[in-house]
Structure 1
Amino acid sequence: MELVNAFAGTSSYYRRFGPGIPTDLAALLNQAAPTGSPRRLVDIGTGPGLVAHALLPYFDDLFAVDAELAMLAEAEAVLRPVLSSDHQLRTRHALAEDFLPPEGWRPHLVTCGRVFHWLDQPRFLDRLSEYVAPDGVVTVFSDRSLWTGGCSWQQAAREVVQDFLGEQRRAGDGFFSPVGPPYEEVLRASDFCDVTSTTVPVHRQWSVDHVIGYLYSTSFAAQHLFGDRQDAFEAALTDALAPFAEGGQLPEDNAFTVLTARRPSVRKER
Protein backbone atom coordinates (compact mmCIF):
# COMPACT_ATOMS: atom_id res chain seq x y z
CA MET A 1 0.00 0.00 0.00
CA GLU A 2 1.53 3.29 -1.11
CA LEU A 3 1.37 6.29 1.20
CA VAL A 4 -0.35 8.47 -1.44
CA ASN A 5 -3.07 5.88 -2.04
CA ALA A 6 -3.57 5.33 1.68
CA PHE A 7 -4.36 9.00 2.30
CA ALA A 8 -6.12 9.87 -0.94
CA GLY A 9 -8.97 12.30 -0.35
CA THR A 10 -8.05 13.08 3.26
CA SER A 11 -6.10 16.33 2.88
CA SER A 12 -8.88 18.87 3.50
CA TYR A 13 -10.04 16.96 6.59
CA TYR A 14 -6.46 16.69 7.83
CA ARG A 15 -6.06 20.45 7.57
CA ARG A 16 -9.29 21.21 9.45
CA PHE A 17 -9.37 18.42 12.02
CA GLY A 18 -5.82 17.16 12.53
CA PRO A 19 -4.81 17.96 16.12
CA GLY A 20 -1.26 19.06 15.30
CA ILE A 21 1.45 19.04 17.96
CA PRO A 22 1.40 20.70 21.39
CA THR A 23 3.51 23.75 22.17
CA ASP A 24 5.57 21.71 24.63
CA LEU A 25 6.62 19.37 21.81
CA ALA A 26 7.51 22.28 19.53
CA ALA A 27 9.65 23.73 22.33
CA LEU A 28 11.37 20.38 22.86
CA LEU A 29 12.21 20.10 19.16
CA ASN A 30 13.58 23.63 19.21
CA GLN A 31 15.76 22.85 22.21
CA ALA A 32 17.06 19.61 20.67
CA ALA A 33 18.25 21.21 17.43
CA PRO A 34 21.44 23.24 17.04
CA THR A 35 21.25 26.94 16.39
CA GLY A 36 22.09 28.61 13.12
CA SER A 37 21.37 31.62 10.96
CA PRO A 38 19.38 31.01 8.93
CA ARG A 39 17.97 28.18 11.00
CA ARG A 40 16.85 25.40 8.71
CA LEU A 41 14.05 22.83 9.01
CA VAL A 42 12.88 19.95 6.80
CA ASP A 43 9.42 18.67 7.64
CA ILE A 44 8.93 15.23 6.09
CA GLY A 45 5.38 14.13 5.33
CA THR A 46 4.26 17.65 6.08
CA GLY A 47 0.59 16.97 5.28
CA PRO A 48 -1.21 20.30 5.76
CA GLY A 49 1.85 21.82 7.43
CA LEU A 50 0.73 21.53 11.05
CA VAL A 51 4.18 20.65 12.41
CA ALA A 52 5.91 23.30 10.32
CA HIS A 53 3.35 25.83 11.55
CA ALA A 54 4.14 25.01 15.18
CA LEU A 55 7.86 25.46 14.51
CA LEU A 56 7.68 28.80 12.69
CA PRO A 57 8.72 30.73 15.83
CA TYR A 58 12.00 28.79 15.89
CA PHE A 59 13.01 28.28 12.24
CA ASP A 60 13.15 30.75 9.38
CA ASP A 61 14.22 28.60 6.38
CA LEU A 62 11.91 25.65 5.78
CA PHE A 63 11.30 22.83 3.32
CA ALA A 64 7.91 21.10 3.59
CA VAL A 65 8.01 17.73 1.79
CA ASP A 66 5.08 15.46 0.92
CA ALA A 67 4.32 12.71 -1.57
CA GLU A 68 0.79 13.99 -2.23
CA LEU A 69 0.14 17.21 -4.13
CA ALA A 70 -3.20 17.79 -2.38
CA MET A 71 -1.42 17.79 0.99
CA LEU A 72 1.11 20.34 -0.25
CA ALA A 73 -1.69 22.59 -1.45
CA GLU A 74 -3.18 22.50 2.05
CA ALA A 75 0.24 23.23 3.56
CA GLU A 76 0.60 26.27 1.33
CA ALA A 77 -2.84 27.49 2.43
CA VAL A 78 -1.95 27.03 6.11
CA LEU A 79 1.58 28.41 6.08
CA ARG A 80 1.81 31.18 3.47
CA PRO A 81 -0.61 33.58 5.20
CA VAL A 82 1.32 33.47 8.48
CA LEU A 83 4.89 33.72 7.18
CA SER A 84 6.82 36.81 8.13
CA SER A 85 9.23 38.58 5.83
CA ASP A 86 12.04 36.75 7.65
CA HIS A 87 10.75 33.32 6.65
CA GLN A 88 11.56 31.36 3.53
CA LEU A 89 9.28 28.40 2.74
CA ARG A 90 9.67 25.92 -0.07
CA THR A 91 7.32 23.00 -0.63
CA ARG A 92 8.43 19.90 -2.49
CA HIS A 93 6.40 17.09 -4.03
CA ALA A 94 8.66 14.09 -3.44
CA LEU A 95 9.01 10.80 -1.69
CA ALA A 96 10.91 11.23 1.55
CA GLU A 97 13.47 8.68 0.39
CA ASP A 98 14.15 10.67 -2.81
CA PHE A 99 14.13 14.26 -1.53
CA LEU A 100 17.35 16.23 -1.73
CA PRO A 101 17.58 19.95 -0.87
CA PRO A 102 19.73 22.29 -2.96
CA GLU A 103 23.44 21.61 -2.80
CA GLY A 104 24.93 23.09 0.36
CA TRP A 105 21.57 23.54 2.08
CA ARG A 106 21.87 21.58 5.33
CA PRO A 107 19.00 21.43 7.82
CA HIS A 108 19.52 21.74 11.54
CA LEU A 109 16.36 19.72 12.21
CA VAL A 110 14.41 17.08 10.31
CA THR A 111 10.93 16.31 11.63
CA CYS A 112 9.11 13.09 10.79
CA GLY A 113 5.80 12.18 12.40
CA ARG A 114 3.60 9.15 11.78
CA VAL A 115 4.74 9.11 8.15
CA PHE A 116 7.85 7.26 9.36
CA HIS A 117 5.78 4.07 9.46
CA TRP A 118 5.14 4.29 5.71
CA LEU A 119 8.74 4.86 4.64
CA ASP A 120 11.54 2.59 3.57
CA GLN A 121 13.16 3.61 6.83
CA PRO A 122 16.79 2.52 6.27
CA ARG A 123 16.79 4.08 2.80
CA PHE A 124 15.28 7.29 4.14
CA LEU A 125 17.86 7.56 6.92
CA ASP A 126 20.68 6.89 4.46
CA ARG A 127 19.38 9.75 2.33
CA LEU A 128 19.25 12.05 5.37
CA SER A 129 22.89 11.30 6.11
CA GLU A 130 23.73 12.88 2.74
CA TYR A 131 22.39 16.32 3.58
CA VAL A 132 21.65 16.87 7.30
CA ALA A 133 24.08 19.30 8.97
CA PRO A 134 26.93 17.57 10.86
CA ASP A 135 25.36 18.51 14.19
CA GLY A 136 21.80 18.28 12.87
CA VAL A 137 19.04 16.35 14.60
CA VAL A 138 16.51 13.90 13.19
CA THR A 139 13.27 13.55 15.15
CA VAL A 140 10.61 10.86 14.87
CA PHE A 141 7.47 11.30 16.95
CA SER A 142 3.87 10.21 17.23
CA ASP A 143 1.03 9.95 19.69
CA ARG A 144 -1.67 7.30 19.81
CA SER A 145 -4.26 7.56 17.05
CA LEU A 146 -7.95 7.00 17.66
CA TRP A 147 -7.46 3.43 16.46
CA THR A 148 -4.88 2.71 19.18
CA GLY A 149 -6.22 5.09 21.85
CA GLY A 150 -7.14 3.53 25.14
CA CYS A 151 -9.97 5.61 26.55
CA SER A 152 -13.54 4.29 26.49
CA TRP A 153 -14.96 6.68 23.89
CA GLN A 154 -12.08 5.97 21.50
CA GLN A 155 -12.69 2.24 21.83
CA ALA A 156 -16.39 2.80 21.12
CA ALA A 157 -15.55 4.88 18.03
CA ARG A 158 -13.16 2.22 16.76
CA GLU A 159 -15.84 -0.43 17.13
CA VAL A 160 -18.21 1.63 14.98
CA VAL A 161 -15.52 1.99 12.31
CA GLN A 162 -14.98 -1.77 12.42
CA ASP A 163 -18.72 -2.42 12.13
CA PHE A 164 -18.73 -0.50 8.84
CA LEU A 165 -15.28 -1.30 7.41
CA GLY A 166 -14.33 -4.63 8.95
CA GLU A 167 -12.21 -5.76 11.86
CA GLN A 168 -8.86 -5.32 10.12
CA ARG A 169 -7.41 -1.83 10.14
CA ARG A 170 -7.72 -0.20 6.74
CA ALA A 171 -5.14 1.89 4.93
CA GLY A 172 -7.14 3.56 2.20
CA ASP A 173 -8.26 0.88 -0.24
CA GLY A 174 -5.82 -1.61 1.29
CA PHE A 175 -4.91 -2.68 4.79
CA PHE A 176 -2.44 -1.38 7.37
CA SER A 177 0.92 -3.14 7.09
CA PRO A 178 2.39 -4.88 10.12
CA VAL A 179 4.54 -2.76 12.41
CA GLY A 180 8.24 -3.36 11.83
CA PRO A 181 11.14 -3.12 14.28
CA PRO A 182 10.92 -0.46 17.00
CA TYR A 183 11.77 2.96 15.62
CA GLU A 184 14.54 3.41 18.19
CA GLU A 185 16.17 0.22 16.92
CA VAL A 186 15.94 1.44 13.33
CA LEU A 187 17.51 4.78 14.23
CA ARG A 188 20.32 3.14 16.20
CA ALA A 189 21.20 1.12 13.09
CA SER A 190 21.63 4.33 11.06
CA ASP A 191 24.23 7.11 11.06
CA PHE A 192 21.94 8.88 13.57
CA CYS A 193 22.55 6.30 16.25
CA ASP A 194 22.74 8.56 19.32
CA VAL A 195 19.07 8.37 20.27
CA THR A 196 17.14 9.94 23.14
CA SER A 197 13.51 9.13 23.94
CA THR A 198 11.19 11.64 25.60
CA THR A 199 7.49 11.56 26.41
CA VAL A 200 5.36 14.69 26.01
CA PRO A 201 1.83 14.43 27.48
CA VAL A 202 -1.10 16.18 25.83
CA HIS A 203 -4.71 16.70 26.90
CA ARG A 204 -7.42 17.32 24.30
CA GLN A 205 -11.13 17.98 24.26
CA TRP A 206 -13.05 16.66 21.27
CA SER A 207 -16.56 17.28 20.01
CA VAL A 208 -18.42 14.56 18.12
CA ASP A 209 -18.19 16.58 14.90
CA HIS A 210 -14.44 16.95 15.43
CA VAL A 211 -14.08 13.19 15.89
CA ILE A 212 -15.95 12.58 12.63
CA GLY A 213 -13.77 15.06 10.77
CA TYR A 214 -10.62 13.60 12.30
CA LEU A 215 -11.63 10.08 11.26
CA TYR A 216 -12.11 11.25 7.68
CA SER A 217 -8.52 12.58 7.79
CA THR A 218 -7.09 9.13 8.54
CA SER A 219 -6.12 6.25 6.28
CA PHE A 220 -8.22 3.80 8.30
CA ALA A 221 -11.51 5.72 8.08
CA ALA A 222 -11.19 7.97 5.03
CA GLN A 223 -14.54 9.38 3.93
CA HIS A 224 -14.67 7.59 0.58
CA LEU A 225 -14.40 4.18 2.26
CA PHE A 226 -17.96 4.49 3.58
CA GLY A 227 -19.51 5.06 0.16
CA ASP A 228 -23.27 5.50 0.36
CA ARG A 229 -23.22 4.51 4.05
CA GLN A 230 -21.55 7.74 5.19
CA ASP A 231 -24.73 9.16 6.77
CA ALA A 232 -25.40 5.87 8.54
CA PHE A 233 -21.85 5.80 9.84
CA GLU A 234 -22.04 9.34 11.23
CA ALA A 235 -25.39 8.56 12.91
CA ALA A 236 -24.05 5.35 14.46
CA LEU A 237 -20.90 7.09 15.67
CA THR A 238 -22.89 9.97 17.18
CA ASP A 239 -25.09 7.49 19.06
CA ALA A 240 -22.09 5.50 20.28
CA LEU A 241 -20.27 8.57 21.61
CA ALA A 242 -23.25 10.25 23.26
CA PRO A 243 -22.93 8.34 26.59
CA PHE A 244 -19.30 9.46 26.96
CA ALA A 245 -19.73 13.16 26.18
CA GLU A 246 -19.34 15.50 29.13
CA GLY A 247 -21.08 18.76 28.28
CA GLY A 248 -20.69 17.84 24.63
CA GLN A 249 -16.95 17.20 25.04
CA LEU A 250 -14.93 13.99 24.86
CA PRO A 251 -11.75 14.27 26.95
CA GLU A 252 -8.53 12.57 25.87
CA ASP A 253 -5.21 12.16 27.68
CA ASN A 254 -2.53 11.17 25.20
CA ALA A 255 1.23 11.39 24.91
CA PHE A 256 3.81 11.84 22.18
CA THR A 257 6.81 9.56 22.12
CA VAL A 258 9.65 11.67 20.73
CA LEU A 259 12.91 10.17 19.47
CA THR A 260 15.73 12.64 18.83
CA ALA A 261 18.65 11.16 16.91
CA ARG A 262 22.11 12.51 16.20
CA ARG A 263 25.32 11.27 14.75
CA PRO A 264 27.56 9.86 17.51
CA SER A 265 29.66 12.25 19.56
CA VAL A 266 27.53 15.22 18.48
CA ARG A 267 25.81 16.84 21.44
CA LYS A 268 24.24 20.26 21.64
CA GLU A 269 25.80 22.39 24.33
CA ARG A 270 23.33 23.09 27.13
Structure 2
Amino acid sequence: MTYPDVPFPDLPPEQEALFAAAAATYARYRSGVPDAAVRLLADILRGRSVPVLLDLGTGTGQVPLALRAAVPDLAHIEAVDVSQQMLDQARDALAPALDRCTLTLVRCAADAYRPLKPLPGEEAQAPDLITCCRSYHWMDGPAVLKMADRVAAPDATVAIMGDGSLWTLRADWTRALRGLIQRYLGSERRAGTCGSYSEPRRSYEEDLAASPWSDVTEHRILVARIWRPDTVLGYLRSTSFAGAELFGQRHAAFEDEAHTLLHTHAIDGSLVENAVFTVLLARRPGSAS
Protein backbone atom coordinates (compact mmCIF):
# COMPACT_ATOMS: atom_id res chain seq x y z
CA MET A 1 0.00 0.00 0.00
CA THR A 2 1.29 3.45 -0.86
CA TYR A 3 -0.21 6.76 0.16
CA PRO A 4 -0.73 9.44 -0.85
CA ASP A 5 -0.50 9.09 -4.64
CA VAL A 6 1.09 12.54 -4.67
CA PRO A 7 3.42 13.97 -2.01
CA PHE A 8 2.14 15.73 1.06
CA PRO A 9 1.98 19.52 0.55
CA ASP A 10 5.13 21.54 1.07
CA LEU A 11 7.51 18.69 0.25
CA PRO A 12 10.83 20.51 -0.29
CA PRO A 13 11.77 19.91 -3.96
CA GLU A 14 15.49 20.04 -3.21
CA GLN A 15 15.11 17.27 -0.62
CA GLU A 16 12.98 15.20 -2.96
CA ALA A 17 15.69 15.34 -5.64
CA LEU A 18 18.66 14.87 -3.33
CA PHE A 19 19.04 11.11 -3.74
CA ALA A 20 16.55 10.41 -6.52
CA ALA A 21 19.14 9.85 -9.25
CA ALA A 22 21.19 7.54 -7.04
CA ALA A 23 18.44 5.29 -5.64
CA ALA A 24 19.49 2.12 -7.49
CA THR A 25 23.17 2.75 -6.75
CA TYR A 26 22.33 3.38 -3.10
CA ALA A 27 20.62 0.00 -2.85
CA ARG A 28 23.67 -1.74 -4.28
CA TYR A 29 26.58 0.00 -2.56
CA ARG A 30 25.44 1.35 0.81
CA SER A 31 26.40 -0.64 3.89
CA GLY A 32 23.56 -2.23 5.81
CA VAL A 33 22.70 -1.98 9.50
CA PRO A 34 25.20 -3.80 11.74
CA ASP A 35 23.90 -7.01 13.31
CA ALA A 36 24.45 -5.68 16.83
CA ALA A 37 22.25 -2.66 16.07
CA VAL A 38 19.55 -4.89 14.58
CA ARG A 39 19.55 -6.97 17.78
CA LEU A 40 19.11 -3.83 19.90
CA LEU A 41 16.11 -2.75 17.83
CA ALA A 42 14.64 -6.25 17.71
CA ASP A 43 14.74 -6.50 21.51
CA ILE A 44 12.52 -3.41 21.72
CA LEU A 45 9.83 -5.04 19.57
CA ARG A 46 9.92 -8.55 21.00
CA GLY A 47 7.00 -9.38 23.26
CA ARG A 48 4.70 -6.79 21.68
CA SER A 49 1.36 -8.21 20.66
CA VAL A 50 1.24 -6.27 17.37
CA PRO A 51 4.68 -4.70 16.84
CA VAL A 52 4.69 -1.68 14.52
CA LEU A 53 7.73 0.07 13.00
CA LEU A 54 7.85 3.63 11.63
CA ASP A 55 11.07 4.18 9.65
CA LEU A 56 11.80 7.81 8.75
CA GLY A 57 14.11 8.52 5.84
CA THR A 58 13.85 4.87 4.94
CA GLY A 59 15.88 5.15 1.73
CA THR A 60 15.95 1.70 0.16
CA GLY A 61 14.38 0.08 3.22
CA GLN A 62 17.48 -1.26 4.95
CA VAL A 63 16.14 -0.92 8.51
CA PRO A 64 12.70 -2.50 7.94
CA LEU A 65 14.24 -5.28 5.87
CA ALA A 66 16.70 -6.13 8.66
CA LEU A 67 14.00 -5.99 11.32
CA ARG A 68 11.57 -8.06 9.26
CA ALA A 69 14.11 -10.90 9.38
CA ALA A 70 14.94 -10.38 13.08
CA VAL A 71 11.34 -9.97 14.33
CA PRO A 72 9.21 -12.63 12.60
CA ASP A 73 5.98 -11.35 14.17
CA LEU A 74 6.49 -7.75 13.00
CA ALA A 75 2.95 -6.73 12.11
CA HIS A 76 3.23 -3.46 10.21
CA ILE A 77 5.87 -1.20 8.63
CA GLU A 78 5.41 2.47 7.78
CA ALA A 79 8.33 3.56 5.58
CA VAL A 80 8.70 7.30 4.96
CA ASP A 81 10.95 9.07 2.45
CA VAL A 82 10.89 12.22 0.33
CA SER A 83 12.09 10.35 -2.78
CA GLN A 84 9.70 8.24 -4.81
CA GLN A 85 12.67 6.48 -6.41
CA MET A 86 13.93 5.45 -2.97
CA LEU A 87 10.48 4.21 -2.00
CA ASP A 88 10.31 2.17 -5.21
CA GLN A 89 13.59 0.50 -4.24
CA ALA A 90 12.28 -0.10 -0.72
CA ARG A 91 9.12 -1.72 -2.07
CA ASP A 92 11.11 -4.04 -4.32
CA ALA A 93 13.33 -5.09 -1.41
CA LEU A 94 10.57 -5.52 1.16
CA ALA A 95 7.75 -7.08 -0.85
CA PRO A 96 9.26 -10.60 -1.02
CA ALA A 97 9.90 -10.59 2.75
CA LEU A 98 6.55 -9.32 4.02
CA ASP A 99 4.48 -12.51 4.38
CA ARG A 100 1.74 -11.43 6.85
CA CYS A 101 3.43 -8.14 7.71
CA THR A 102 1.76 -5.13 6.08
CA LEU A 103 3.63 -2.22 4.50
CA THR A 104 2.73 1.40 3.89
CA LEU A 105 5.06 3.59 1.85
CA VAL A 106 4.69 7.31 2.56
CA ARG A 107 6.24 9.99 0.39
CA CYS A 108 6.69 13.08 2.53
CA ALA A 109 9.15 14.96 4.72
CA ALA A 110 9.57 13.18 8.05
CA ASP A 111 8.17 16.00 10.17
CA ALA A 112 5.05 16.19 7.94
CA TYR A 113 4.18 12.50 8.44
CA ARG A 114 0.74 11.71 9.78
CA PRO A 115 -0.85 8.26 10.01
CA LEU A 116 -3.87 7.31 8.00
CA LYS A 117 -7.12 7.07 9.92
CA PRO A 118 -8.01 3.40 10.44
CA LEU A 119 -10.82 1.93 8.40
CA PRO A 120 -14.11 1.22 10.20
CA GLY A 121 -13.67 -1.81 12.45
CA GLU A 122 -9.87 -1.51 12.49
CA GLU A 123 -7.68 -0.31 15.35
CA ALA A 124 -5.08 2.41 14.94
CA GLN A 125 -1.52 1.09 14.66
CA ALA A 126 0.67 3.42 16.71
CA PRO A 127 4.38 2.72 16.19
CA ASP A 128 6.27 0.97 18.98
CA LEU A 129 9.61 1.90 17.40
CA ILE A 130 10.49 4.96 15.31
CA THR A 131 13.84 4.78 13.52
CA CYS A 132 16.05 7.29 11.70
CA CYS A 133 19.11 5.61 10.23
CA ARG A 134 21.73 7.84 8.56
CA SER A 135 18.91 10.30 7.85
CA TYR A 136 18.23 12.50 10.88
CA HIS A 137 20.79 15.12 9.77
CA TRP A 138 18.67 15.84 6.68
CA MET A 139 15.54 16.47 8.78
CA ASP A 140 14.07 19.23 10.91
CA GLY A 141 15.01 17.30 14.02
CA PRO A 142 12.94 19.10 16.70
CA ALA A 143 9.85 18.99 14.47
CA VAL A 144 10.40 15.28 13.81
CA LEU A 145 10.61 14.56 17.54
CA LYS A 146 7.40 16.50 18.18
CA MET A 147 5.68 14.54 15.41
CA ALA A 148 6.97 11.28 16.93
CA ASP A 149 5.43 12.24 20.28
CA ARG A 150 2.06 12.77 18.60
CA VAL A 151 1.94 9.45 16.76
CA ALA A 152 3.91 6.95 18.87
CA ALA A 153 2.61 4.39 21.33
CA PRO A 154 2.85 5.38 25.02
CA ASP A 155 5.88 3.16 25.68
CA ALA A 156 7.52 3.64 22.26
CA THR A 157 11.21 4.13 21.55
CA VAL A 158 12.87 6.50 19.08
CA ALA A 159 16.17 5.25 17.63
CA ILE A 160 18.53 7.68 15.90
CA MET A 161 21.43 5.85 14.29
CA GLY A 162 24.40 6.44 12.06
CA ASP A 163 28.10 6.09 11.44
CA GLY A 164 29.16 9.06 9.34
CA SER A 165 30.39 8.55 5.80
CA LEU A 166 33.59 8.14 3.83
CA TRP A 167 33.71 11.95 3.77
CA THR A 168 33.99 12.09 7.58
CA LEU A 169 36.07 8.91 8.10
CA ARG A 170 39.56 9.64 9.41
CA ALA A 171 41.88 7.39 7.43
CA ASP A 172 44.75 8.12 5.08
CA TRP A 173 42.88 6.86 2.04
CA THR A 174 39.67 8.76 2.80
CA ARG A 175 41.59 12.00 3.46
CA ALA A 176 43.28 11.64 0.08
CA LEU A 177 39.97 10.85 -1.59
CA ARG A 178 38.26 13.82 0.05
CA GLY A 179 41.07 16.06 -1.19
CA LEU A 180 40.52 14.82 -4.74
CA ILE A 181 36.78 15.46 -4.51
CA GLN A 182 37.46 18.97 -3.23
CA ARG A 183 39.84 19.64 -6.11
CA TYR A 184 36.98 18.94 -8.52
CA LEU A 185 34.03 20.36 -6.58
CA GLY A 186 35.46 22.94 -4.19
CA SER A 187 36.39 22.86 -0.54
CA GLU A 188 32.85 22.77 0.89
CA ARG A 189 31.01 19.51 1.20
CA ARG A 190 28.28 19.42 -1.42
CA ALA A 191 24.66 18.53 -0.69
CA GLY A 192 23.58 17.39 -4.11
CA THR A 193 23.00 19.99 -6.80
CA CYS A 194 21.21 22.30 -4.36
CA GLY A 195 24.29 23.69 -2.62
CA SER A 196 26.60 22.95 0.28
CA TYR A 197 25.96 20.82 3.33
CA SER A 198 25.50 22.63 6.66
CA GLU A 199 26.14 20.84 9.92
CA PRO A 200 23.15 20.76 12.31
CA ARG A 201 23.26 23.60 14.82
CA ARG A 202 22.66 21.22 17.71
CA SER A 203 23.78 17.67 18.37
CA TYR A 204 21.28 14.82 18.27
CA GLU A 205 21.66 14.51 22.03
CA GLU A 206 20.77 18.18 22.50
CA ASP A 207 17.69 17.78 20.31
CA LEU A 208 16.57 14.76 22.34
CA ALA A 209 17.23 16.46 25.69
CA ALA A 210 14.92 19.33 24.66
CA SER A 211 12.20 16.98 23.41
CA PRO A 212 9.67 14.61 24.97
CA TRP A 213 12.23 11.85 24.25
CA SER A 214 14.80 12.89 26.85
CA ASP A 215 15.46 9.48 28.46
CA VAL A 216 18.40 8.46 26.25
CA THR A 217 20.85 5.56 26.22
CA GLU A 218 23.78 5.46 23.83
CA HIS A 219 25.22 2.33 22.24
CA ARG A 220 28.49 2.48 20.28
CA ILE A 221 29.16 -0.42 17.94
CA LEU A 222 32.59 -0.87 16.36
CA VAL A 223 32.35 -1.82 12.69
CA ALA A 224 35.14 -2.85 10.32
CA ARG A 225 34.31 -2.82 6.62
CA ILE A 226 36.46 -3.84 3.67
CA TRP A 227 36.15 -1.85 0.46
CA ARG A 228 37.60 -2.32 -2.99
CA PRO A 229 38.35 0.63 -5.29
CA ASP A 230 35.38 -0.22 -7.52
CA THR A 231 32.93 -0.46 -4.59
CA VAL A 232 34.16 2.89 -3.25
CA LEU A 233 33.43 4.47 -6.63
CA GLY A 234 29.97 2.89 -6.60
CA TYR A 235 29.37 4.23 -3.10
CA LEU A 236 30.43 7.73 -4.15
CA ARG A 237 27.87 7.73 -6.97
CA SER A 238 25.17 7.19 -4.31
CA THR A 239 26.20 10.15 -2.16
CA SER A 240 25.08 13.75 -2.03
CA PHE A 241 28.72 14.95 -1.86
CA ALA A 242 30.16 13.07 -4.86
CA GLY A 243 27.28 11.92 -7.04
CA ALA A 244 27.94 11.74 -10.77
CA GLU A 245 25.65 14.69 -11.53
CA LEU A 246 27.89 17.05 -9.55
CA PHE A 247 30.86 16.51 -11.88
CA GLY A 248 29.06 16.88 -15.18
CA GLN A 249 31.34 15.99 -18.09
CA ARG A 250 34.30 15.66 -15.72
CA HIS A 251 32.90 12.63 -13.90
CA ALA A 252 34.80 10.06 -15.97
CA ALA A 253 38.05 11.94 -15.40
CA PHE A 254 37.36 12.10 -11.67
CA GLU A 255 36.66 8.38 -11.46
CA ASP A 256 39.86 7.58 -13.37
CA GLU A 257 41.89 9.65 -10.91
CA ALA A 258 40.02 8.27 -7.91
CA HIS A 259 40.53 4.69 -9.08
CA THR A 260 44.29 5.26 -9.38
CA LEU A 261 44.42 6.98 -5.98
CA LEU A 262 42.50 4.17 -4.25
CA HIS A 263 44.71 1.48 -5.78
CA THR A 264 47.74 3.36 -4.47
CA HIS A 265 46.34 3.20 -0.91
CA ALA A 266 44.89 -0.32 -1.11
CA ILE A 267 46.66 -3.28 0.51
CA ASP A 268 46.13 -6.48 -1.47
CA GLY A 269 43.30 -4.65 -3.25
CA SER A 270 41.48 -3.78 0.00
CA LEU A 271 40.73 -0.55 1.83
CA VAL A 272 39.71 -0.71 5.49
CA GLU A 273 37.02 1.41 7.12
CA ASN A 274 37.00 1.34 10.93
CA ALA A 275 33.80 3.08 11.95
CA VAL A 276 31.62 3.53 15.02
CA PHE A 277 27.92 2.94 14.48
CA THR A 278 26.09 4.91 17.17
CA VAL A 279 22.56 4.07 18.29
CA LEU A 280 20.68 6.55 20.48
CA LEU A 281 17.63 4.90 22.05
CA ALA A 282 15.27 7.56 23.38
CA ARG A 283 12.11 7.16 25.43
CA ARG A 284 9.72 9.46 27.20
CA PRO A 285 10.72 9.81 30.87
CA GLY A 286 8.77 7.39 33.02
CA SER A 287 7.72 5.12 30.16
CA ALA A 288 8.34 1.37 30.31
CA SER A 289 11.62 0.27 28.74
Indicate yes or no: 2:289 matched with 1:259: no
Q: Judge conservation of contact 2:132–2:160 (CA < 8 Å) in 1.
A: yes
Q: Judge conservation of contact 1:196–1:259 (CA < 8 Å) in 2.
A: yes
Aligned partner of 1:118: which letter? W
Aligned partner of 1:191: which letter? P
Task: Indicate the structure whose relative CO is greater, using CA pairs within 8 Å and at least 6 residues apart.
Answer: 1
Q: What SS does the aligned partner of 1:46 have?
A: coil
Q: Judge conservation of contact 2:45–2:51 (CA < 8 Å) in 1.
A: no
Task: State the aligned residue count.
Answer: 267
Q: Judge conservation of contact 1:8–1:172 (CA < 8 Å) in 2.
A: no
Normalised by the length of structure 1, the TM-score is 0.94
Corresponding position of 1:239? 260
Corresponding position of 1:97? 111
CA distance in 2, matches of 1:19, 1:263: 30
Indicate yes or no: 2:55 matched with 1:48: no
Q: Judge conservation of contact 1:206–1:249 (CA < 8 Å) in 2.
A: yes
Q: Judge conservation of contact 1:34–1:136 (CA < 8 Å) in 2.
A: no
Identity %: 39
The one-character-per-residue Cα deviations of 1:50-94 (angstroms, maximum 9, x if unpaired) are 1111111223311111011011001111111222x2221111111
Give the Å deviation of 1:34.
6.2
Give the Å deviation of 1:264.
0.4
Aligned partner of 1:230: which letter? H
CA distance in 1, matches of 2:155, 2:140: 24
Q: What SS does the aligned partner of 2:54 have?
A: strand
CA distance in 2, matches of 1:205, 1:253: 9
Corresponding position of 1:195? 216
Indicate yes or no: 2:263 matched with 1:248: no
Corresponding position of 1:120? 140
Give the CA RMSD over aligned residues: 1.5
Aligned partner of 2:238: which letter? S
Normalised by the length of structure 2, the TM-score is 0.88
Give the Å deviation of 1:16.
0.7
Q: Which moved more, 1:186-195 or 1:50-59?
A: 50-59
CA distance in 2, matches of 1:236, 1:162: 13
Indicate yes or no: 2:151 matched with 1:131: yes
Q: Judge conservation of contact 2:20–2:84 (CA < 8 Å) in 1.
A: no
Corresponding position of 1:27? 39
Q: What SS does the aligned partner of 1:9 have?
A: helix
The one-character-per-residue Cα deviations of 1:19-44 (angstroms, maximum 9, x if unpaired) are 12111110011224563122110110
CA distance in 2, matches of 1:46, 1:178: 21
Mapping of residues 97-246 of structure 1, within 5 Å: 97-103=111-117, 104-173=124-193, 174-246=195-267
The one-character-per-residue Cα deviations of 1:110-148 (angstroms, maximum 9, x if unpaired) are 110222112111111111111101000001011020110
Q: Judge conservation of contact 1:172–1:220 (CA < 8 Å) in 2.
A: yes
Q: Judge conservation of contact 1:157–1:240 (CA < 8 Å) in 2.
A: yes
Indicate yes or no: 2:45 matched with 1:66: no
Aligned partner of 2:204: which letter? Y
CA distance in 2, matches of 1:162, 1:8: 23
Aligned partner of 1:60: which letter? A
Which 5+ residue runs of structure 2 have no aligned equivalent? 1-11, 118-123
Q: What SS does the aligned partner of 1:10 have?
A: helix
Corresponding position of 1:11? 23
Q: Which moved more, 1:135-144 or 1:93-102?
A: 93-102
CA distance in 1, matches of 2:164, 2:199: 16
Q: What SS does the aligned partner of 2:21 have?
A: coil
Distance of aligned partners of 1:184 and 1:154 in 2 relative to their CA distance in 1, 3 Å threshold: same
